[in-house]
Structure 1
């Protein structure tokens, strides 16, 4: 079994933080660069999928749906999956408040800090866990479900999905950087457990000494 995790292409919010003040997060479009990234990622993802069928689970945000469209994949199943959406920062954002919240979140910790009118990382972790539980059942018990899955999602959500799947500590999660836009990670099940193809970049060593990949 294989799960391919793909972050969306560059969005307007990645290059203009003030865009969140006038456009809801879920409606932010890809930039021209993001559209090119998604098209370029298409052959890479098709190569990772191989010849077999694939099921695609796509965040309902505009930038993730558009990224998936531009990949040019012929997926057997395409599911719009709200549980793999971005962390909710609330509605239209005030730039002064959001800058203050980012500093508070960094000091407090990205996992437990709850954004006013939004979510904490722990909230995202809970819904990602529910998604994984259901996906695991379908991949094991539904013979018609493809054994290769593509998840088109967001940076923090992808890190938390791996945190749940590999039982990483919160310290380790908070030490990891998001994948770049349109960057992927591949998870393979070898019959005994899931394996990650390569680690995420780290901006510091985990305070508790834990690591992403077994030594």
Structure 2
């Protein structure tokens, strides 16, 4: 356990020194302020025209971070620590594992769109499939009112940094909602609005366990409002 504590302590010290040196440099400080300003501008106004400037400034900030000597030291220390921890398992005798599938495995692949506003299930009525989103910035609207939902195995998982999320659920579908966010506001069905401040909450409609059709929504975000409505 002490090895993990030592690793965490050294990483915190190195990354703290990296942050101090970046804030001390005028150019780095300007880039950080520019990125934060563009993120707030995008969050409040949803402007698409500033996407190029936002992406360019984030790329510039990435290189500033990665070229910082303390960040490089933190990465090298993590690499050495990982090699030391993994060393006993490298020369361990391999054990073969055979997996036999009785049926063909169906593979669905979809690229993540990290930026921009997205509408899910908004074009055509279709069979529901589980949603697993990874987003940086953008507003997501998930339309379930025209989607065929069956049974209790319907899951929506959203992990995002900044942006609002709206989920439209049919009248005959019960809901379980789990939210973990740093700052935002929740509007859940007919309930009063609730401020979210660095907390995790779980809401379940009364007939969730007895209903024929349900959907489970898991949302983890840094900054953004959440709205769940019936239609």
TM bucket, shorter chain: under 0.3
- Which structure: greater strand fraction? 2
TM value normalised by structure 1? 0.24
TM value normalised by structure 2? 0.23
Q: Which structure's CA Rg is the greater one?
A: 2
- Which structure: greater helix fraction? 1
Greater length-normalized contact order (CA 8 Å, ≥ 6 residues apart): 1
